Amino acid sequence: MRQLVERYRDNVFGLCVRMLGRIHDAEDAAQEVFLRVFRSLHRVDRTRDFEPWLLAITGNCCRTRLKQRSRRLESQPLEEVCDQSPSAASGDDLAEEVRLGLAQLREEHRRAFLLFHEQELSYAEIAGVLDAPLGTVKTWVHRARRELIEHLQQRGVIEEPRHVVRKV
C-alpha cells in the first residue's frame, strides 16, 4: 500500500488541487481516494491500465466534494460567500487567474482539460477515465482551452491576438 501511495500521490493530489482549488480540501480528498482504492483493489481489471482507473476515482471523489461544497455555499448568507472570494491583488497572479478560469468551466470540460494538460493522458485514456466517446473528449479539451483563454483575455491577463492580413 505504501508503494502505491508513493507512486501515485503526486498525480492524485495534483488533480485534487486543480479540481478543488484548495490545498486543505485536496489533502482530504487525496486521502479519501486512496481509501477508496484500497477498498476496491480486488475489483481492478488487470488487463487495463491502473492509472486511468485511479484518476477516475479521484475525479469522482472531487466531484462529490464540489457538490457538497456548493450545497454548503447555498446555505450561507451572501456576505459570508463574498468574504471568501479572492482578493483583487491575487487576481494579478497568472496562476490564480488560471485557477479562477478553470473553476468557471463546465465540470466535464475542466476534468478533460486537467487530465490532458496536467496528467498528460492521451485522449483515448481520458475517454476511458471519463467514460465518454473519444470525439467528445477532444471537444471538451478544445472548449476548455478556448474558454480559459477568453477568461484570461477578459481579465486582461493576456492580450487578444491581433489579426494578421496576409497579402498573396
Same domain for 2 and 79, yes or no, is yes
In this structure, which amino acid lies at residue 118? E
Q: What is the CATH number of the domain that holds 127?
A: 1.10.10.10
Spatial separation of the C-alpha atoms in residues 114 and 84, rounded to whole Å: 24
Task: Count other Cβ atoms within 10 Å, centred on residue 20.
Answer: 22
Residues 1 and 64 in one domain: yes
Specify whether 74 is located in the same domain as 111: no
Q: Are residues 112 and 58 in the same domain?
A: no
Three-class SS of residue 158?
A: coil
Q: Does position 92 have pLDDT exceeding 50, yes or no?
A: no
> Which CATH number goes with the domain that contains 2?
1.10.1740.10
Confidence class for position 84, pLDDT limits 50, 70, 90: very low
For the full predicted model, state whether its pTM sits above 0.75. Answer: no
Residue 21 domain-assigned (yes or no): yes
Does residue 76 surpass a pLDDT of 50?
Answer: no
For residues 21 and 78, membership in a common domain is answered with yes
Which amino acid makes up residue 11?
N
First to last CA, the chain: 63
Residues of the domain holding 9? 1-85
Q: Are residues 63 and 79 in the same domain?
A: yes
Please tell me the total count of domains within the chain.
Answer: 2
Decide which of 34 and 70 is more confident: 34
| DSSP track, 100-154 | HHHHHS-HHHHHHHHHHHTS---HHHHHHHHT--HHHHHHHHHHHHHHHHHHHHH
Task: Evaluate whether 117 touches 107 at the Cβ level (below 8 Å).
Answer: no
Look at residue 146 and tell me whether its pLDDT is greater than 60: yes
- Stretch 122-149: mean pLDDT: 91
Residues 44, 50 contacting (CB under 8 angstroms): yes
Place of cell 487530465: 115
Burial class (CB in 10 A: 0-12, 13-18, 19+), 91: middle
Angle at 127 between CA 124 and CA 129, to 5 degrees: 115
